Amino acid sequence: MSAFWSAWVTVITLAVILGCTWLLLATRKSQPHQEVTEETLGHEFDGIAEYDNPLPKWWFQMFIGTVVFGLVYLVLYPGLGNFQGLLGWTSHNQWEEEIQHAEEVYKPVFAKYASLPAEELLKPENASGLKMGQRMFANNCSVCHGSAATGAHGFPNLTDNDWLYGGDPKTIKATITNGRVGGMPPWGAVLGEEGVRDVANYVLSLSGTASDAEAAERGKGQFQALCTACHGADAKGLPILGAPNLTDNTWLYGGSFENVAHTIRNGRAGVMPAHKDLLSDDKINLITAYVYSLSNK
């Protein structure tokens, strides 16, 4: 916040508090009597008349108390522009303290399962650890992969056996820890629109999906020239690159002709964020076990 806006907020805040206090005190002193009276202010509405009586003493004292509390609060805590308060409190510091406290409380719980590989965590005697992984998955991963981990358009289904980078525990853990960056380059400028449609037909034919046989035959050579470096000569993909298998009829962005053509024409860019700075190794281990369990039930 700039110095101008800091001063602006400070002046407005204090002016409102002190102005209300002055108005209350000035009005109270100007009242000609301090006793309860039957005199009215001279107006009536629906049979209700307003009496000319001072504020109750308890109400006045409560108001003064709130003013004092507010001024003390603004001295101790942030509220006046850039002034941080004498206690140095910030919401970020409080959040860090709560996180640290939670780590101290729950670290022994996570440590109990830290040394167990994912395969061991699938055993019935470790069911509580797997449930912990499920809850952490819901908190950290479900926004993309869904609460049931079945994925969405552009987000992989984690309950099947179709994996871009591999579905063994070691690879899953590496994915969660370091993230993934996938890139399908656009080929529209290279192939032209007719070439895009030919290759799309060929790609669909690889999984037995209905396609134009003549167009697929034309697209086969173009696919072999441009696409096999990533997807392999058999089009079954290369996990080391995260290139998908095109022969299994499982599609990350949809398997319709237009979706496949769009992917070829414009490319795709997928990012799985790294969680190594967000979650401890113990927590990642439990989430890994839960994700692994989804396709190994």
CATH number of 182-272: 1.10.760.10
Q: Return d(Cα 51, Cα 55) in angstroms, integer.
A: 11
Asked whether the domain spanning 182-272 has the same topology as the one spanning 92-179+275-294, the reply is yes
Which pLDDT score is estimated for 34?
A: 55
Show me where the domains of the chain are located: 3-89, 92-179+275-294, 182-272
List 182's β-bridge partners, or say none. Answer: 270
Q: Which two tokens stand for residue 201?
A: 């037909």
Which pLDDT score is estimated for 30?
A: 57
Q: Which two tokens stand for residue 169?
A: 């525990």
DSSP the chain: --HHHHHHHHHHHHHHHHHHHHHHHHHHHH-S--S----EEEEEETTEEEE--PPPHHHHHHHHHHHHHHHHHHHHSS-BTTB--TT---HHHHHHHHHHHHHHHHHHHHHHHHTS-HHHHTSGGGHHHHHHHHHHHHHHTHHHH-TTS--BTTB--SSSS--SS--SHHHHHHHHHH-EEEEE---HHHHHHHHHHHHHHHHHHHTT----HHHHHHHHHHHHHHTHHHH-TTS--BTTTTBPPSSS---SS--SHHHHHHHHHH-EEEEE---TTTS-HHHHHHHHHHHHHHT--
Q: Return d(Cα 146, Cα 156) in angstroms, integer.
A: 10
Upper half-sphere CA count for residue 253 (Cβ side, 13 Å): 16
Q: Which two tokens stand for residue 76?
A: 């101790």
CA-closest candidate to residue 155, choices 243, 270, 244, 268: 270
The parts of the chain modelled with pLDDT lower than 50 are none
Per-residue CA distances from 146 to 50, 65, 117, 179 (Å): 61, 51, 25, 18
CATH number of 92-179+275-294: 1.10.760.10
User: Would you mind telling me the total number of residues written for the chain in this entry?
Assistant: 297
Q: Euclidean distance between the first and final Cα of the chain, in Å?
A: 54
Per-residue CA distances from 83 to 7, 80, 90, 92 (Å): 10, 6, 11, 16
List 193's β-bridge partners, or say none. Answer: none
Contact of 202 with 225, CB cutoff 8 Å: no
